[in-house]
Structure 1
Amino acid sequence: MRPLIILRPEPGAAKTAARAAEWGLDARIMPLFVPQAVEWEGPAPDRFDALLLTSANAARLAGARLAAYRALPAYAVGPATAKALTEAGFDGVVAGDGDGSAIARRIAADGHERVLHLAGQTVATIDAGGLRIERIAIYAMRRTGDDGLADRLEAGSVILVHSPRAGEVLAQLVAPAQRATLHLIAISPAALAACGTGWASAEAPDKPDDERMLALAVRLCE
């Protein structure tokens, strides 16, 4: 069986690995980043009519200031982020099943206009449409000591790439000659494009979902 390499940071990496083990996969965690909280000033809640989070890390690392926004309708890019918001005390969180642009369309369709987006310092592009989105960075992703990653990747390995930034770093660390021996599954077309070319195979699921990534991995790993 081909090894499954998980590049995402904790705690998400452990959850992906546990689910991969249920599928019978040989999962190995090799995170490229560690999430760290940063100082942030919370704008007045009454300036907004909706709250948006596009990462569960934002809910986990926001700290006590997050509670000030519990009265706002809360939207999350996906189920994992919605779960983190719910655990932080938010009720009725609306979870999307696509990317940031998809949940932005849902927010607009629900009649909201002024949106507070709590996010990391680096975020994927969101098509805001008619929304007025104010983004506040409340965490950063710090690179791990990953210089030896390429040496730990066995030929035939299947690599899960959960963000465009992870794809960019992977492309920097793995030389073109080695890429031809490795398979990629990226969470989105943007993450896939960030990985560059020359891989043995490279694909993304039809929706940015961990379960769909693992379903693709089963076929490649066997």
Structure 2
Amino acid sequence: MKTLFLFRPEPGWSVSSKTALDMGLDVSGAPLFTVEPVDWEVPDPEQFDGLLVGSANVFRHGGKQIDRLTKLPVHAVGDATADAARNAGFLIGRTGGGGLQSLLDELDGRELHLLRLAGEDRVTLRLPEKIRMETKIVYRAVPQSMTDDDIARLRTGGVVALHSGAAAERLQVEFDRHEMDRSQVDLAVIGPRVAEMAGEGWRSVEIADAPGDSELLALARALCQTDE
């Protein structure tokens, strides 16, 4: 069985690692970036009809400022983000299941002014005709280097699970920096945008059935069980 490499930041890394180990997989890897808050100012909540949020990191790193926005419903990209919003005291307007653009498209036809809370690394969105949006950056990803052990193990192949575009970009940087062979490695990615950001040259790139950790790890397990 091939080794599964995880590179997402904490606390997600530990959660995914435990799940993968419980699935009987050989797990390696370490976060390729850490997430830290950035200074930001909260606009007047009365100007907005809701929040558009694409990551639970918004609620982990948004600071005390975010408490001023709890009266606004959260349109969350997926279940994990929605759960983080509820735990922070927010009500959920809508929970997506196919990426942030798909979620925004589901709101088409409604006249809304949304406040998007995001990280520095974020996908460009196409706004439906009646929706206006303002964006505030509340966190950023700080790059980390791949460990020597992971570099050595990846030179012989394996499966990498990618939870975000930021992880895909960091993986490319590390492979190029250490002159590693992409054709030895299979990628399991959480969505089409991440697959695109991962670039070319990999042994295979497979997209999870839905943008969730359980679906991604199920795909990764199947890839780990393929022939060497």
Distance in 2 (CA, whole Å) between partners of 1:211 and 1:150 is 26
State the secondary structure of the residue aligned to 1:125: coil
Q: Aligned ranges for residues 1-222 of structure 1 at < 5 Å?
A: 1-108=1-108, 111-130=110-129, 131-146=131-146, 148=148, 150-153=151-154, 155-175=156-176, 178-222=181-225
Shift of 1:164: 2.0
TM-score normalised to structure 1 length: 0.92
Question: CA deviation digits over 1:188-209, x for unaligned, max 9?
Answer: 1221122222212211123322
* SS of equivalent to 1:174: helix
Q: Which moved more, 1:203-212 or 1:167-176?
A: 167-176
| Comparing 203-212 and 141-150, the one that deviates more | 141-150
In structure 2, runs of 5+ residues without a counterpart are: none
- 1:27-49 CA-partner distances (Å, limit 9, x unpaired): 22321110000110000001101
Determine the C-alpha separation between the residues in 1 that align with 2:153 and 2:33.
17
Alignment coverage as a number of residue pairs: 221
Say which SS state the counterpart of residue 80 (structure 2) adopts. helix
Paired-residue identity, %: 35
Offset of residue 55 of structure 1? 0.5
Which amino acid in 1 is paired with 2:168?
Answer: G
State whether residues 143 and 170 of structure 2, in contact with CA within 8 Å, keep that contact through their aligned partners in structure 1.
no
Mean Cα displacement is larger for which, 148-157 or 21-30? 148-157
- Which one is further off, 59-68 or 34-43? 59-68
CA deviations over 1:62-108 (Å, ceiling 9, x no partner): 11111111111211100111111111011345321111111112334
Q: In structure 1, what is the Cα distance between the partners aligned to 2:93 and 2:217? A: 26
TM-score, structure 2 as length reference: 0.89
Contact 1:13–1:29 (CA under 8 A) maintained in structure 2: no
Unaligned runs of 5+ in 1: none
Paired with 1:150 and 1:112, the residues of 2 have a C-alpha distance of 50
Backbone CA RMSD of aligned residues? 1.8
Query: Is contact 2:77-2:95 (8 Å) kept?
Result: yes
Residues in 2 aligned to 1:147 and 1:177: alpha-carbon distance in whole angstroms: 13
Residue 12 of structure 1 deviates from its aligned partner by 1.1
